[in-house]
């Protein structure tokens, strides 16, 4: 019985999983390019879900998720470069490195609240970028780290690894959000002082959210190093291309919703690929993203999943005989 009710709750999840697992078997999707797009989408879903835990559920808005991503990426890169082992060891190693790194970042930033926390994390990302650029003996500086030979030429193995990462993250999020901790996170988001005076050790739970969020993002970073075969500080610690896009993915998809990060990642990646393919305006894709974000904040403040009914209504109205004007 328990199993069937579990299945009812997660029917959508099971369908999505089957569809994603079967995707490479579909001829149209089984091109190097399409798989690359799918891999990017899953990577962003994982980063989005982790950000969603810390910032969506626990309310500590991070502008510095590039710090975790970059730490993970460099863990893999440095292990490969100096340790002489496969970059894949970076995945388990990044759990430790990013876990410790998150503790340090949390120790510094979590005493700040609201916008100050956001600025603190933003600074952390930038500090790490500059550090990586200058510690040339360890990181090769702005030259970056190149992995001579990627593990596989085909995309499928990478795809299934990142899919496993996404499924694992999804399960962890479901377990966490439905647990006692999940309630504590939301209580902290809604009113930190009230949570504290009710007996919740807010510093401790904020740290837990931050470390889990950081570690999962770091895993994607370590995966990225192995997948792309090249990292440099400009890319993996990027404020605009990582930290800000992370926030956009979740805001577009829906903050503190189960499927928001997936929907957001799908929309953002597809849009970015479409816009980049356009002649002339392709180079302006970041400008267009900015416009998109403004539109989303005005019309769908809870994101595509959060305002699901609203989107549904808009679509239906669009299909019905046209009516002038909007709301």
Partner 1 sequence: MLKVEGIDVFYGDVQVIWDVSFEVNEGEVVALIGANGAGKSTLLRTVSGIVRPRKGGITFLGEPLAEVPPYRIIEKGIAHVPEARRLFPDMSVEENLELGALKPAAKARRADSMERVFTRFPRLEERRRQLAGTLSGGEQQMLAIGRGLMSLPRMLMFDEPSLGLAPLLVEEVFQVVRDVRADGVTVLIVEQNVRQTLAIADRAYVLETGRIVRHGSGRELLEDEEVKKAYLGV
How many chain residues touch partner 1 (CB under 8 A)? 15
Candidate residues 73, 195, 211, 247; the one interacting with partner 1 per rule CB under 8 A: 195
Q: Which stretch binds partner 1 (CB under 8 A): 36-44, 192-200, 264-272, 316-324?
A: 192-200
Burial category of 11 from C-beta neighbours within 10 Å (exposed 0-12, middle 13-18, buried 19 and up): exposed
CB nearer to partner 1: pick between 78 and 200: 200
115 to 154, contacts with partner 1 by CB under 8 A?
none
Separation between Cα atoms, residue 190 and residue 232, nearest integer Å: 38
What's the min distance (Å) between Cβ of 113 and partner 1?
Answer: 13
What's the min distance (Å) between Cβ of 49 and partner 1?
Answer: 20
What's the min distance (Å) between Cβ of 315 and partner 1?
Answer: 27
What's the min distance (Å) between Cβ of 206 and partner 1?
Answer: 12
* 3-state SS record for the chain: CHHHHHHHHCHHHHHHHHHHHHHHHCCCCCCHHHHHHHHHHHHHHHHHHHHHHHHHHCCCCCCCHHHHHHHHHHHHHHHHHHHCCCHHHHHHHHHHHHHHHHHHHHHHHCCCCHHHHHHHHHHHHHHHHHHHHHCHHHHCHHHCEECCCCCCCCCHHHHHHHHHHHHHHHHHHHHHHCCHHHHHHHHHHHCHHHHHHCCCCHHHHHHHHHHHHHHHHHHHHHHHHHHHCEECHHHHCCHHHHHHHHHHHHHHHCCCCCCHHHHHHHHHHHHHHHHHHCCCHHHHHHHHHHHHHHHHHHHCCCHHHHCHHHHHHHHHHHHCCCCCCCC
CB nearer to partner 1: pick between 47 and 251: 251
Candidate residues 187, 216, 219, 300; the one interacting with partner 1 per rule CB under 8 A: 187
Separation between Cα atoms, residue 116 and residue 99, nearest integer Å: 22
Distance, C-alpha 238 to centroid of its chain: 14
CB nearer to partner 1: pick between 131 and 302: 302
Closest C-alpha among 306, 296, 301, 258 to residue 49 = 258
Q: Which stretch binds partner 1 (CB under 8 A): 47-55, 190-198, 266-274, 277-285?
A: 190-198
What's the min distance (Å) between Cβ of 303 and partner 1?
Answer: 15
What's the min distance (Å) between Cβ of 129 and partner 1?
Answer: 33
Over the window 147 to 186, marking each residue x when it contacts partner 1 by CB under 8 A and - when it does not, the resulting string is ------------------------------------x--x
Q: What six digits make up the tokens of 77?
A: 């890169």
198 to 257, contacts with partner 1 by CB under 8 A?
198-202
What's the min distance (Å) between Cβ of 6 and partner 1?
Answer: 22
Candidate residues 3, 4, 25, 193; the one interacting with partner 1 per rule CB under 8 A: 193
Q: Which stretch binds partner 1 (CB under 8 A): 75-83, 125-133, 197-205, 233-241?
A: 197-205
CB-based contact 41:55 (threshold 8 Å)? no
Candidate residues 171, 190, 281, 282; the one interacting with partner 1 per rule CB under 8 A: 190
Over the window 61 to 90, marking each residue x when it contacts partner 1 by CB under 8 A and - when it does not, the resulting string is ------------------------------
CB nearer to partner 1: pick between 179 and 287: 179
Q: Which stretch binds partner 1 (CB under 8 A): 41-49, 194-202, 303-311, 317-325?
A: 194-202
Residues of the shown chain interacting with partner 1 in the complex, contacts defined by CB under 8 A: 183, 186-187, 190-191, 193-202
């Amino acid at each position: 019985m328990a199993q069937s009710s579990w299945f009812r709750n997660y029917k959508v999840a099971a369908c999505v999983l089957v569809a994603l697992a079967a995707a490479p078997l579909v001829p149209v999707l089984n091109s190097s390019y399409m798989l690359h797009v799918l891999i990017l989408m899953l990577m962003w879903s994982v980063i989005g879900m982790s950000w969603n835990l810390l910032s969506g559920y626990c309310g500590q808005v991070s502008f510095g998720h590039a710090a975790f991503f970059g730490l993970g990426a460099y863990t893999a890169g440095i292990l490969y470069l100096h340790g002489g082992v496969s970059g894949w060891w970076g995945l388990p190693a990044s759990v430790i490195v990013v876990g410790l790194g998150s503790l340090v970042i949390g120790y510094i930033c979590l005493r700040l609240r609201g916008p100050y926390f956001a600025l603190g994390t933003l600074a952390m990302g930038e500090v790490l970028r500059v550090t990586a650029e200058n510690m040339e003996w360890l990181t090769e500086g702005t030259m970056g780290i190149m992995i001579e030979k990627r593990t596989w030429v085909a995309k499928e193995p990478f795809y299934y690894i990142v899919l496993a990462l996404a499924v694992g993250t999804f399960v962890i999020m479901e377990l966490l959000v439905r647990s006692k901790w999940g309630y504590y996170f939301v209580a902290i988001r809604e009113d930190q002082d009230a949570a504290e005076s009710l007996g919740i050790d807010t510093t401790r739970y904020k740290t837990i959210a931050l470390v889990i969020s950081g570690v999962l993002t770091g895993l994607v970073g370590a995966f990225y190093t192995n997948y792309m075969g090249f990292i440099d500080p400009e890319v993996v610690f990027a404020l605009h291309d990582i930290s800000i896009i992370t926030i956009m993915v979740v805001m577009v998809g829906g903050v503190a919703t189960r499927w928001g990060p997936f929907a957001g990642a799908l929309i953002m990646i597809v849009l970015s690929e479409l816009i980049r393919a356009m002649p002339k305006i392709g180079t302006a894709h970041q400008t267009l993203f900015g416009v998109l974000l403004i539109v989303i904040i005005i019309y769908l403040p809870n994101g595509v999943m959060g305002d699901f009914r609203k989107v549904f209504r808009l679509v239906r109205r669009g299909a019905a005989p046209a009516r002038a004007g909007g709301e």
